[in-house]
Structure 1
């Protein structure tokens, strides 16, 4: 017996309760027979005014992730996806592996996380060694992302953190601001533009920018959902979400 709608896979998505972007972006990338089941990591809309408050706020999300795992397991999902990326970069490659393993052990399911999905996407494109990085974070979190990428042989040439003042403010960043930021980051010395921070609305814009700049522009939500599909064995190619989902 299979689920009437999720006859190929039921994905359990773990995301902060303040995040309004990851759920609709993931739903836009669903393929026939796959359903997404969002489990909210219940948190307050924290104010981030410094490196310290930003890191502390993300750790509160991490501390409450296990409850969201327990909640989504009641619908008997087949695979899990983490819809928040910052904490998955902390501690470099080893830190990411330990973080993922904790929740895989707790659930008995495999889990796609943003950090590992991003390096898998970079490998799928091929030829990417030097990147520019865009995030809604504060500098301390960008440093963690840069360290993680370095562990995988990826050099960050430039980075920009938007220092969004609250979790919900991340979803309020406008397309003109994102375009302006990408323009400042781009150059002949970078092979790709990377965007992290799952509450930043970037999948459609990254698709357009990839065409305009003639180089990979990888949005974290696209990379993470692509990774989940491929890790689960679903090879459908999707149009309209960038070369990653279309060709890899």
Structure 2
């Protein structure tokens, strides 16, 4: 069962959260866009209020679940925007649904597969989670998503993100760490999609390096680089990114 919230009416916009997050992260965006759109924000299985039954899951399986959920909710030809892991899920959904998706947006995400260094980091994450559990992991994982120079300024937002992350299930965190590690390169899927494509990247992003974003920027119809922004542009540069997203979904 996929838990979600929605606001507004009109063209459907599905916002997919990232790792250690839930649909709640999109509340400010949903409220701002709901005057013109039907904005739907699911909790991926294993996060927020959506259950997960095992710690072995693939992004392809998640995409199938989301496709079935969209059919149940009468969400047709949506614009899909995903943050980080949500972007990986959105790309798997694009491969599954093709032209039944109207437009695709990635927030601090990539069509490339993990390199060997990143895969090893995922393995260390799984080991840490098994040994220490959810709370200890998320407390150490969330703050570095924000640039060090702004962590004091964004202390309240970081604490909110940590509290939301604590709602993640152990099975979900382990399962998605493995799923991200094992995901395939979907650059060709992205390039072959003829609809509008947006990539928002941060120059200080420690999770998705700016060099990787620049390498694939020609696969997108719109590429936005945020100077001095880390992995959480929707929080760090809310007004600017909201303006970019609004312009993208209107077009």
TM-score range, shorter chain: 0.3 to 0.5
Query: What is the TM-score when the length of structure 1 is the normalising length?
Result: 0.41
